Amino acid sequence: MAGRFRLATFNIENLDWSPSAQDEFGRRLAVLRPQLAAIDADILCLQEVDAQRETAHAPRRFVALDRLVEGGGYERFFRAATLRPGGDAPADIHNLAILSRWPIVEQRQLYHDIVVPWRWTPPAEKGASAQPIDVAFDRPILYARIALAEGASLHVLNLHLRAPRAVPLLGQADRKSSRAIAEGQWLAAQKREGQALEARLFVDRLFDEERAPLIAVCGDFNSDAYDAPARILWGADDPSGPRGLAPLATRVDERARFTVVHAGRKTLIDQLLASPALAARCAEVAILNDGLADEATAPDPILGSLHAPLVATFRA
């Protein structure tokens, strides 16, 4: 590859805008714009990009994102973004976006394209038969193939997996009971791991098609660095194997290896995994977490983000 490039992932924390909250949005811009400038990415993967209507009956579009990048280094970048599954417009919240200095020559979203939706029937209680539940992912995965400056293809998957919050189950009168929480948490884990599996199986197809593909899988995994979703995505017990996806954040000093702080506990839930051909070109990895607020005690509204950007630099 000619020269270096920087690839970053950043959960931008419910990036929203409304005509009635212009001042609040202006305060967010004052915090987020310097963050994006510091990231200085050539390819930027964003999570939690909301979409807005400028008027009551207008279609949803990325008003907040457009205004965030306006006048900055990312304004003229190529863009890929998710749509609401089955629709032709973005969802109101939690869309994914990829911004690239170089052309995006192919893009698609994965939503049960490989792992089909399934049904689960909760265990019967006191002889009453339970109704089966249709289980589907919360949002798509975003894929983009980017033509780098010298012509090589970089495959990028942007993920935002299900958070470890109990899925509300219909028909349960007490949604805070131990049973409801246990079943809801189990179902949340199934969604999270099922979508990690869909991403991994798509990655295997890329390995089938190319001898030494350049693949990056990044985003908010909503789980710790060695939990099941990450291990599924590795594709091997040893992620440095020929088809493994290596977690690049492990190259960061352990004391700084976190992207979220919750009640004093530092966790690495935002990750960047790389195929062997890409990992071999990784020159530097940084997590921009200086001054990161604790999400358990952060004031509302949030001005910046409660996630730290993860940035990797790749050499020729």
CATH number of the domain within which 270 lies: 3.60.10.10
DSSP bridge partners of 157: 143, 217
Q: Tokens 């019967």 identify what position?
A: 124
pLDDT per residue as tens digits for the range 167-200: 988 766 667 889 889 999 999 999 999 999 999 9
pLDDT per residue as tens digits for the range 205-255: 999 999 999 999 999 999 999 999 999 999 988 888 999 999 999 999 999
Structural contact between residues 12 and 304, judged by C-beta atoms closer than 8 angstroms? no
Q: Indicate the pTM of the whole model.
A: 0.95
Q: Tokens 């200095």 identify what position?
A: 101
Number of domains the chain contains: 1
Structural contact between residues 276 and 240, judged by C-beta atoms closer than 8 angstroms? yes
At 178, list the tokens.
């131990």
Q: How many CB atoms lie within 10 A of CB 266?
A: 16
Q: Tokens 């038969």 identify what position?
A: 129
Most trustworthy range by pLDDT among 23-27, 56-60, 307-311: 307-311
At 217, list the tokens.
């899988």
pLDDT confidence of residue 44: 98
Q: Please tell me the number of Cα atoms within 13 Å of 106 on its side-chain side.
A: 7
What contacts 46, CB < 8 A, 6 or more positions away? 9, 10, 11, 12, 15, 65, 96, 97, 98, 99, 158
Rounded average pLDDT over 64-88:
97
Tell me the C-alpha distance between 225 and 245, whole Å.
13
pLDDT confidence of residue 3: 72
Q: How many CB atoms lie within 10 A of CB 94?
A: 19
Helix (H, G, I), strand (E, B) or coil at 203: helix
94: left (phi over 0), alpha (psi -120 to 50) or beta: left
Provide the residue range defining the domain that includes 191: 5-314
Helix (H, G, I), strand (E, B) or coil at 187: helix
Average pLDDT over the chain, rounded to an integer: 94
Is pLDDT above 50 for 1? no
Is pLDDT above 80 for 282? yes
DSSP bridge partners of 47: 11
Tell me the C-alpha distance between 95 and 80, whole Å.
11
Is pLDDT above 70 for 107? yes
Tell me the C-alpha distance between 235 and 258, whole Å.
23
At 252, list the tokens.
């960061």
Tell me the C-alpha distance between 180 and 170, whole Å.
10
